[in-house]
Structure 1
Amino acid sequence: MNFNNQTVIITGASRGIGRGVAESYAEAGAHVILADVQEDEGRKLEQKLKDQGRLADFIPCDVRKEEDVIRLVDFAAESAGGINIVINNAGVSRWKSPYDLTIEEWDDVLNTNVRSSFLLSREAAKHMKKQESGGSIVQISSTRSVMSEPNSEAYAASKGALVALTHALAISLGPDRIRVNCISPGWIETGAYDKLRQIDHEQHPSRRVGVPQDIVKACFYLTDPENSFVTGSHLVVDGGMTRKMIYEP
């Protein structure tokens, strides 16, 4: 797809799904604003993309801090002349028994995964609403918004909140031509794909584990300016696993 003349902010851009999304938007012609708390990795990715002739800028950003988010948005708007797309991807997890999870750990997960997405959406929308084309925001949630394993309370709550935040923002920002959608990835392998077992693939109705490019394609679809009728949606990309009944034999 062609995203020439589009400015895209991506949080959590230095690794995993965020990195795959950032590289793909850059390859498609966008000016990518890479935001991450991992400064060394972020700057390496920025240099890699620039060496490829891509438009890329890395901004150190702790998405839990309002001042960092505002600084990120101001840089993007000033350096690129506007903001077209935001991908709220940054996130953390805590796999810990609810009996032992501290309130500080709970708050850190919710602040990193949810509050940051609201803050960035709010600040970016202030610029998007001034543009004739409006803009597009995508929240990266998780299938854990609708299903769980033990000891995932904070993470599940944060990802469920992102789904709800999506439809609320879609309604509030719709009059300003700003579309807001959500993607819930399932198992997306960002490490050694060739180390996966056959059973890992075969348990999926799709017969394979996902890769970052699967989420890239979903982002491209949801942020394509021609898809102006798509807003408030929750797109599950999980190889069919949330539709599969699982019982012990």
Structure 2
Amino acid sequence: MSAVRFDYWGERVLITGAAGLIGRALVARFTECGADVMAVDRDADGLKVFRHVPRVTTVAGDLAREDVADDVFARLDRVGGLDVLVNNAAITEVRTPFIDIDAPLWDSVIAANLRSAYLLSVRAVRRWSDAGRGGTIISLSSPGGSRAHDDQSAYDVTKAGIEAISRAIAVELGGQGIRANCIAPASVVGEIRPATDLPSGRTTAPEEVADAALYLASPAASQLNGHVLRVDGGLHARLRTDPSQEQLRDA
């Protein structure tokens, strides 16, 4: 898939969770469009994929820690600041029934997915507000932000929280030209394949998520604020996700 044509030359973009599937696509799309990207992830080895990519600098660290968030923004301050923040980092692999999840596991998911997004977002908006300038935040949500997955209660809580943070930023700081929106993708895999639970009939490519981010960060989306863009093949529109249940009717 070719990149949508957006111009980000001279802009500085911070992308978290950069070593993952969606993260790599985000870095590729923004750099293809000219941005200077800081790619951050806890996985130092995973960041090595960007070693020879022009206009990409990497930082390995746990963004749920304030000292790491402070270090990231100190680095950005030295190179001229930040224009776009993409909160993509998340723990997605935890599958534990709510009745069984313990406090340490719960806290680890909340920290990785929600606390990290808060720590970076609040630092970004403070800088933009103090400088009297605008900026854009894009955070990765999920269908779980408004509906429940089986055995992913902590994950779903973090995605609902990220959507709530985005709305708060939009309402409180939108008048200063600061925008915060979310992307809620579904069934993102490296190679597109059939998916009977999505009305589109196929899975979502990570590049499609990245193209949505390019749009949301651009002037073309200047009137979108506090919005959730669902890149989900129609999943959220469907009453039931199990095609075998389609013959059932509500009372």
Common fold, TM-score beyond 0.5?
Answer: yes
1:48 aligned counterpart, secondary structure: coil
Deviations, residues 175-207 of structure 1 (Å, cap 9, x unaligned):
3321111111111113xx26x4x4x2x442222
Deviations, residues 134-164 of structure 1 (Å, cap 9, x unaligned):
1100111101112223211111111111111
Q: What is the root-mean-square deviation in Å for CA atoms of aligned residues?
A: 1.6
| Cross-structure match for 1:239 | 233
In structure 2, which of residues 224, 230, 234 is the aligned counterpart of residue 230 of structure 1? Answer: 224
| Cross-structure match for 2:160 | 160
Q: Is the 8 A contact 2:29 2:211 kept in 1?
A: no
Moved more, 207-216 or 2-11: 207-216
Aligned residue identity for 1:12: G
Distance 1:115 1:173 in 2: 20
| Cross-structure match for 2:50 | 46
TM-score, normalised by the number of residues in structure 2: 0.89
| Cross-structure match for 2:144 | 144
What is the deviation of 1:46? 2.5
Distance 2:78 2:58 in 1: 14
Distance 1:137 1:87 in 2: 6
Matched, 1:26 2:20: no
Deviations, residues 201-228 of structure 1 (Å, cap 9, x unaligned):
x442222210011111111111003432
Identity across matched positions, percent:
29
1:35 aligned counterpart, secondary structure: strand
Matched, 1:90 2:92: no
1:137 aligned counterpart, secondary structure: strand
Q: Is the 8 A contact 1:11 1:18 kept in 2?
A: yes
Distance 1:116 1:36 in 2: 11
In structure 1, which of residues 7, 18, 28 is the aligned counterpart of residue 12 of structure 2? Answer: 7
1:39 aligned counterpart, secondary structure: coil
Distance 2:220 2:149 in 1: 38
2:95 aligned counterpart, secondary structure: coil
Structure 1 unmatched ranges of 5 or more: none
Aligned residue identity for 1:46: F
Distance 1:248 1:135 in 2: 44
Distance 1:133 1:168 in 2: 18
TM-score, normalised by the number of residues in structure 1: 0.90
Matched, 1:135 2:163: no
Q: Post-superposition, which runs of at least 4 consecutive aligned residues in structure 1 deviate over 6 A?
A: none
| Cross-structure match for 1:59 | 59
Q: Is the 8 A contact 2:133 2:176 kept in 1?
A: no
Structure 2 unmatched ranges of 5 or more: 1-5
For 1:54-203, what aligned pairs fall within 5 Å after superposition? 54-79=54-79, 81-93=80-92, 94-131=94-131, 133-190=133-190, 193=191, 196=193, 198=194, 200=195, 202-203=196-197
In structure 2, which of residues 208, 213, 218 is the aligned counterpart of residue 219 of structure 1? Answer: 213
What is the deviation of 1:130? 4.5
What is the deviation of 1:248? 5.7
Distance 2:32 2:136 in 1: 19
Q: Is the 8 A contact 1:142 1:183 kept in 2?
A: yes
What is the deviation of 1:230? 1.4
Distance 1:19 1:77 in 2: 24
What is the deviation of 1:99? 2.1
Aligned residue identity for 1:113: N
| Cross-structure match for 2:3 | none
Aligned residue identity for 1:88: N
Distance 2:136 2:102 in 1: 35
Q: Is the 8 A contact 2:11 2:82 kept in 1?
A: yes
